[in-house]
Amino acid sequence: MTSDQVAEQRELEAARIRVDELRTQIRYHDHRYYTLSQPEIGDTQYDLLLRELRDLEARFPDLVTPDSPTQRVSGEATVEFTGVQHREPMLSLGNVFNADELAAWYARAVRRIEREDLRFVCEPKIDGLAISLVYEGGRFVQGATRGDGFRGEDITANLRTLRAIPLVLNAPPESLPRAFEVRGEVYMSKTEFERLNEERRLAGEQLYMNPRNTAAGSLRQLDPKITAARRLDLFIYQLGWVEGHRPVDAHSDAMSWLGGLGLPTNPLTQTFGSIEEVAGFCEGWVEQRDALEYGIDGVVIKIDDYNAQRELGVVGREPRWAIAWKFPAEQAVTRLRQIEVSVGRTGVLTPFAALEPVFVGGANVSLATLHNLDHIHELDIRAGDDVIVQRAGDVIPQVVAPVLSRREGREADLVPFEMPSTCPVCGGEVRRNENEAAYYCMNRRCPAQLSRGVEHFASRGAMDIEGFGEKMAFQLVDTLRPDSALHYIETLADIYSLPALRDELLTIPRIGEKKLDALFANIEGSKQQPLSRLLVAITIRHVGSETARALAGHFGTMSALREAALEDLQAVNDIGPIVAESVYDFVRDSENAALLDRLAIAGVRMDEGRVAARGGVLDGLSIVVTGSFAIRPRSELEELIKSLGGKVSGAVSKKTSFVVSGEGGGSKRDKAETLGVEIIDEQELFDRLRGFGWTDAPA
């Protein structure tokens, strides 16, 4: 054997060892992600393992085996549900990460079928759970998960609870194929995820980690009633097998046909005639993704023509006629240095993670939320652990889970976390509320509570005092007055005493005359905010903007609210016993009563006035506001609509009068389009109000 042959043999043997290692790792992570829903690494790290394996198999074809992860789809059906054999495999997609890799994929397709007249269909890649739906005679008869691509789980009963899935298609049965399959992605919207977690937080239950895993878990519930309560959504992304004649010749036509039958398809789907246009579409969604009401982790690109798809065929586990442009990772693994505790405006102690800096979701992350003590104990997160960190856009980074497999040999150094018995800021007593998961600092004069409280009091949704942000609030809470043992702000009412201390305040570093005079003008203007805004500002536990409006609308004045009996509070619409008791206790507390008296003496308005006028120009209309806006914030638009007699609804239905949609209208806009409900933008709303005779609408 020559020296070159020996070298080749050694290289092959080294590749064989590495291939075996990669396959073992990938199968391990597949099991944790698809079956246990407990991933240990992020998507990008997984993709790198798979890419390395694919490259090695390409260099050494003799190492390819039928059971390699590159030759099959990941995931397994769980034993709780009946298995379903897919007539055609539900394949997964290969990945590209930039325009050059996309161009290389396109070039391979062109060489294989020797044609360049290709069109492409692109749609956001939903971060959810892939499913199969079977219709016979126009009726939904079976639904299944993707499973391992060949065999999934029968979840028909659960899928029947999804309102997005029509049980009967919108066409005469005789006009349809006798039976056919469609494929889609079930997901949970960001709004629904937040609503579900808020319910669990108030109930003192463990919070869910992310919408994708919550949606997957919801579909796998053995009780369909639980699935129904989760308000899942769905987009259909493909026509699968068809018995008899296929009604269309292209993927784009199939999507139009399925949409006409009443199946939900993504309105953001677009068709392009060049791969350069496709790359531009994908790059655009890297920046826009966070504006959507649901999570996406890339863009799916498909060659439109079915004949071209058949010619290209499938290689291993992936179709050659489709590819996924994957976005930058939103999960990564790093070391948890320490678990620290912050104090909020209500006195809640919130643990957070101090991390070894890691780049995730487009930013360097060194701090992440850990929710509460119960959550930390449930996942057994400890300082010193390697942990999975998740970040999506501007969402606060969070620790998803510890990587338990990396603890080996270090267990004795990793001590379980316990909440401190005294406040880390003021040293005050810490107690746990028996009915909640939260721990509270009991010292109302705690600087952390007060500065956060001042910042909230001045925020746009409360008293709207522009110029009173986090830095100013902390500075005035933290700074002692000259020759005094008192700080400039000791209680919220002290905000209205600041103008009388102008000369003293000008001695504080970084506070100039113009800045201070503008702040004083805004403080004076805030006195005219209605009672509902004041109720938000003073931080009554469980009272947000909607509850505050209900209370202010019912009682009208602060004095009436302060005199209300507990049963009077419980009689208010949408006010339950927990909220009623919280309000009742707040207004009868001696310190809070003194605060309210001082605010009244300072001239702060203590009545609601005419907020929702019967007979107003929008009286009797049900309006949905969704997205972000340029002229006025969404909260102000909603208040304006209510002040003119309109009802602001949180959900789109056939009874909705119209939808005001801004940037990123999301699923509410989609629902309106499906139902044929009128959609207008912010400027059209103001134009309409001027047409009704409303003179305060901006031009």
The secondary structure of 332-396 as a DSSP string is EEEEEEEEEEEE-TT-EEEEEEEEEEEEETTEEEEEEE---HHHHHHHT-BTT-EEEEE--TTSP
Q: End-to-end CA distance of the chain: give it in Å, rounded.
A: 87
Closest CA to 652 of 615, 629, 626: 626
Work out the average pLDDT over 490-507: 94
- 589: DSSP letter: S
Q: Is the pLDDT of residue 131 over 70?
A: yes
Among 181-190, 385-394, 604-613, 648-657, top mean pLDDT goes to 181-190
Rounded Cα distance, 299 and 96, in Å: 10
Q: Is the pLDDT of residue 512 over 70?
A: yes
Work out the average pLDDT over 428-457: 89
DSSP lists the bridge partners of residue 390 as 331, 398
CATH code of the domain occupying 622-691 = 3.40.50.10190
Work out the average pLDDT over 227-243: 91
Rounded Cα distance, 281 and 12, in Å: 41
Architecture of domain 444-526: Orthogonal Bundle (1.10)
DSSP lists the bridge partners of residue 322 as 302
Q: Is the pLDDT of residue 372 over 50?
A: yes
- 92-326 folds as D-amino Acid Aminotransferase; Chain A, domain 1 (3.30.470)
Q: Is the pLDDT of residue 614 over 70?
A: no
In 114-159, alpha helices (H): 156-159
- Report the pLDDT value the prediction gives residue 80, as an integer from 0 to 100: 64
> What share of the chain in percent tops pLDDT 70?
93
The enclosing H or E element of 440 equals strand 439-441
Range name among 118-132, 177-191, 467-481, 661-675 with the lowest pLDDT average: 661-675
Rounded Cα distance, 496 and 523, in Å: 7
- Report the pLDDT value the prediction gives residue 122, as an integer from 0 to 100: 97
Q: Is the pLDDT of residue 4 over 50?
A: yes
225 is catalytic: no
Among 194-203, 412-421, 628-637, top mean pLDDT goes to 412-421
**Tokens representing residue 516 in the block:** 């201070």
Rounded Cα distance, 59 and 64, in Å: 10
Query: pTM of the full predicted structure?
Result: 0.48
- Report the pLDDT value the prediction gives residue 699, as an integer from 0 to 100: 47
C-alpha 246, offset from chain centre: 38
- C-alpha distances out from residue 432 to 90, 206, 343, 542, Å: 49, 16, 14, 17
The active-site residue out of 125, 190, 326, 642 is: 125
CATH code of the domain occupying 3-71 = 1.10.287.610
Q: What is the pLDDT of the chain when averaged over all its residues?
A: 86
Rounded Cα distance, 662 and 669, in Å: 9
Q: Rounded to 5 degrees, what are φ and ψ at 241?
A: -70, 155
Work out the average pLDDT over 666-670: 79
Helices (H) and strands (E) in the chain, counts: 24, 24
Rounded Cα distance, 191 and 294, in Å: 9
The secondary structure of 655-680 as a DSSP string is T--EEEE-BT-HHHHHHHHHHT--EE
Contact yes or no for 478/451 (Cβ under 8 A): yes
**Per-residue b or e along 335-369, where b marks 16 or more CB atoms closer than 10 Å to that residue's CB:** ebeebebebbbebbbbbbbebeebebbbeebeebb
- Report the pLDDT value the prediction gives residue 565, as an integer from 0 to 100: 92
Work out the average pLDDT over 126-141: 93
- Report the pLDDT value the prediction gives residue 36, as an integer from 0 to 100: 52
Domain boundaries, the chain: 3-71, 92-326, 331-426, 444-526, 531-601, 622-691
3-state secondary structure of 672: helix
**Tokens representing residue 226 in the block:** 């639980």
Work out the average pLDDT over 553-581: 88
Residue 147: what residue type?
G
Contact yes or no for 73/317 (Cβ under 8 A): yes
Closest CA to 549 of 536, 537, 559: 536
- 472: DSSP letter: H
Q: Is the pLDDT of residue 18 over 70?
A: yes
CATH code of the domain occupying 531-601 = 1.10.150.20
Contact yes or no for 233/164 (Cβ under 8 A): yes
- 331-426 folds as OB fold (Dihydrolipoamide Acetyltransferase, E2P) (2.40.50)
Matching fold, domains 444-526 and 531-601 = yes
Q: Is the pLDDT of residue 653 over 70?
A: yes
Instruction: Show the CA angle centred on residue 449, arms to residues 446 and 451, nearest 5°.
Output: 105
The 10s digit of each residue's pLDDT in 202-230 is 777 767 767 887 888 888 887 788 888 88
The 10s digit of each residue's pLDDT in 70-109 is 764 545 544 467 888 899 989 889 889 899 999 999 999 9
- Report the pLDDT value the prediction gives residue 22, as an integer from 0 to 100: 87
Pairing of strands 398-402, 386-390: antiparallel
Among 18-32, 224-238, 600-614, top mean pLDDT goes to 224-238
3-state secondary structure of 210: coil
Work out the average pLDDT over 623-631: 82
The 10s digit of each residue's pLDDT in 387-396 is 999 875 546 7
- 197: DSSP letter: H
Give the position of tokens 């806006």: 629
